[in-house]
C-alpha cells in the first residue's frame, strides 16, 4: 500500500508540476482583447449565354468563382494599430487562386478629440475609390454578387484595390454632418491581368506602376442616411518593352478618373448612384499602338429594398462607354486593329440590367441570386474569351452565391 501510494504521489507531483508550467504559458499566449480575427468564404455558380464570365460559363455553367479570406487587426496602443488581410480568389482564367496580401498596414492616430480625428497609415493601403472598393471582396458588404463593372472592374481588381505606400486620413464631425478625407501616395500593383486589360495582350517586357496619388472626400448626414462623395486618382503605368521597336516600343499610360458618388439610406429603401469620367493617355508605344488620349463615361443607378428583416431585393442599371464621342463603338470598329485583327463595336460599351435577391439565412450565412441582361462586351475578360470573334453583343447571365463569415 505504501509503495502504491508513493507511486501515485510521484505521478500527482509530476502532473502538478506540468500544470504549473502550462498555466503561465497559457496566460502568456492568450490573445489580447484588442486582437481580432475575421474571415469569409464565398462560392458562386455562373451560367451565361454566348460569352464566358469567370470561367467556362456558357451552356452548362461554372463553379469557378470563389473567394477565401482572413483578416486581423491588433490595437497594441490606444493610438497604434496593425491590420492585414490575405485572400485567395478564383475567377476563371482571370484569377486562379494565387494567395495575395490585400492590405497590410500600420495605423497611427496623430490627433483625436470629440470633433476631429487625424491619422496616417503606412504599408499596403486600401485605395479610397467610391463606395465599395474598401471591402469589395467581402460578399456581405457588396450590394450584389458582382459590383457594377463599369466602375469596379473585376478584371483589374488588384490594381484598384490597394497600393504600396501611405495614407493620410481625417474625420471632422460637425452640426451639419460628418466629413471624411483620405489621401494616398502609393505605388499601384500591376501584373499580367492588368497588362492584358490595358494593352490588350501580355507582351514580352515589364509593366510597372509609378508613384501615384489617390484621394476621396465623403460627407455623411444623420449617421449615413445621406452620403455624398468625390474620388479621384492619378496613376502612371510604364511598360518596358522586350520587343523590337517596330513591333512595340516602351511607353506609358496615364489614368486619371473622377468619380462622383451619392446614396440615400432609409429604413427599408436604399438608393445609390455613381458616375465616373475615366481619362486615359497612351504615349510612346510606336505605330502599332499610336499615341492617344480619350475619356470614357461610367455610371449606374441602383435601388435596394428590404421587404422583410432577412430579405432584400435589388435592381440596377449599369452603363459603360469606353470613349465619349464613340459610345456605340462604330469608329473603333472601322479602324484596322493591330496586325490586321478585326475590331468589334461591342467591345467599346456595355449596358447591364440586373435584378437580384438576398437572403440572410443567419448573421454568418448569406444566399444571393441575380439575373443580368447585357448589351456589349467592354468589361468581359479576354482570358475567358480568347476567341474575340466568338463574342456576342447581347447576352444573359444568371448567378447564385453562398457566403459565410466569422
Query: What are the pLDDT digits (tens) for 128-148?
Result: 999 999 988 889 999 999 999
Tens of pLDDT along 67-92? Answer: 999 999 999 999 999 999 999 999 98
Backbone angles phi, psi at 23, to 5 degrees: -60, -50
DSSP-assigned states of every residue in 133-186: GGGTT-GGGSSSSS--TTTS-STTHHHHHEEEEEEEEEEEEETTEEEEEEEEEE
Closest CA to 85 of 100, 66, 95: 100
**Residue 286's closest CA among 254, 250, 255, 253?**
250
Using CA atoms, how far residue 242 sits from 36, 45, 151, 207, in Å, is: 46, 39, 31, 11
Distance CA 269, CA 281 (A): 40
Q: What pLDDT sits at residue 35?
A: 92
| pLDDT number for residue 21 | 38
Q: Please tell me the predicted confidence (pLDDT) of residue 191.
A: 72
Residue 250: is it exposed, middle or buried by C-beta count within 10 angstroms (0-12/13-18/19+)? middle
Whole-number Cα distances in Å, 327 to 88, 131, 279, 345, 354: 35, 25, 14, 9, 21
List C-alpha distances in Å: 49 to 45, 146, 373: 14, 17, 10
CA distances in angstroms from 131 to 175, 221, 261, 318, listed in the order given:
23, 15, 7, 15
Res 267: pLDDT: 94
Cβ-contact 85, 40 below 8 angstroms: no
Whose cell is 495614407? That residue is: 167
- For the chain, the domains span 35-405
pLDDT value for 337: 54
Q: Return the pLDDT at 341.
A: 58
Between the two ends of the chain, the Cα-to-Cα distance in Å is 55
Report the alpha-carbon distance of residue 162 to residue 159 in Å, rounded.
7
Between CA 132 and CA 124 the distance in angstroms is: 18
The 10 Å Cβ neighbour count of residue 170 is: 16
DSSP state of 223: G
Q: What is the pLDDT of residue 313?
A: 98
Note the pLDDT tens digit of each residue in 367-390.
999 999 999 999 998 889 988 888
Q: Are 151 and 276 in contact (CB under 8 A)?
A: yes
User: Which of the residues in the chain have pLDDT under 70?
Assistant: 1-31, 336-341
Give residue 279's pLDDT: 95
Q: Is CATH 3.40.605.10 correct for 35-405?
A: no
Place of cell 470613349: 323
Positive or negative, the CA dihedral 398, 133, 381, 56 is negative
With beta carbons less than 8 A apart as the criterion, state whether 72 and 84 touch.
Answer: yes
Residues in Cβ contact with 402 at an 8 Å cutoff, skipping those fewer than 6 apart? 42, 43, 44, 365, 366, 367
Rg (CA), the chain: 25
Amino acid at each position: 500500500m505504501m509503495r502504491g501510494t508513493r507511486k501515485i504521489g510521484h505521478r500527482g507531483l509530476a502532473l502538478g508540476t506540468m500544470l504549473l508550467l502550462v498555466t503561465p504559458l497559457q496566460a502568456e499566449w492568450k490573445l489580447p482583447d484588442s486582437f481580432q480575427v475575421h474571415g469569409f468564404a464565398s462560392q458562386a455558380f455562373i451560367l451565361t449565354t454566348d460569352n464566358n464570365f469567370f470561367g467556362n460559363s456558357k451552356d452548362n455553367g461554372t463553379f469557378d468563382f470563389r473567394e477565401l479570406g482572413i483578416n486581423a487587426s491588433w490595437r497594441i496602443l490606444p493610438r497604434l494599430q496593425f491590420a492585414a488581410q490575405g485572400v485567395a480568389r478564383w475567377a476563371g482564367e482571370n484569377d486562379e487562386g494565387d494567395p495575395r496580401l490585400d492590405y497590410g498596414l500600420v495605423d497611427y492616430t496623430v490627433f483625436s478629440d470629440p470633433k476631429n480625428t487625424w491619422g496616417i497609415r503606412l504599408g499596403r493601403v486600401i485605395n479610397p475609390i467610391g463606395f465599395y472598393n474598401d471591402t469589395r471582396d467581402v460578399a456581405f458588404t457588396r450590394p450584389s454578387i458582382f459590383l457594377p463593372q463599369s466602375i469596379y472592374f473585376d478584371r483589374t481588381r488588384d490594381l484598384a484595390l490597394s497600393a504600396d505606400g501611405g495614407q493620410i486620413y481625417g474625420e471632422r464631425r460637425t452640426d451639419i454632418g460628418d466629413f471624411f478625407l483620405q489621401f494616398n501616395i502609393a505605388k499601384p500593383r500591376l501584373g499580367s491581368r492588368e497588362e492584358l486589360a490595358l494593352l490588350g495582350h501580355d507582351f514580352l517586357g515589364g509593366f510597372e506602376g509609378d508613384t501615384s496619388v489617390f484621394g476621396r472626400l465623403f460627407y455623411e448626414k444623420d449617421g449615413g442616411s445621406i452620403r455624398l462623395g468625390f474620388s479621384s486618382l492619378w496613376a502612371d503605368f510604364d511598360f518596358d518593352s522586350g520587343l523590337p521597336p517596330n513591333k512595340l516600343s516602351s511607353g506609358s499610360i496615364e489614368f486619371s478618373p473622377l468619380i462622383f458618388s451619392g446614396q440615400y439610406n432609409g429604413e427599408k429603401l436604399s438608393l445609390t448612384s455613381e458616375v465616373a469620367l475615366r481619362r486615359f493617355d497612351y504615349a510612346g508605344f510606336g505605330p502599332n499602338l499610336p499615341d492617344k488620349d480619350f475619356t470614357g463615361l461610367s455610371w449606374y443607378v441602383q435601388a435596394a429594398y428590404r421587404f422583410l428583416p432577412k430579405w432584400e431585393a435589388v435592381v440596377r442599371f449599369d452603363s459603360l462607354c469606353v470613349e465619349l464621342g464613340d459610345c456605340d463603338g462604330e469608329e473603333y470598329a472601322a479602324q484596322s486593329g493591330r496586325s490586321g485583327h478585326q475590331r468589334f463595336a461591342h467591345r467599346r460599351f456595355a449596358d447591364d440590367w440586373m435584378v437580384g435577391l438576398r437572403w440572410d439565412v443567419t448573421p454568418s450565412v448569406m444566399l444571393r441570386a441575380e439575373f443580368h441582361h447585357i448589351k456589349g462586351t467592354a468589361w468581359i475578360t479576354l482570358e475567358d474569351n480568347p476567341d474575340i470573334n466568338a463574342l456576342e453583343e447581347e447576352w444573359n447571365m444568371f448567378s447564385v452565391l453562398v457566403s459565410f463569415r466569422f
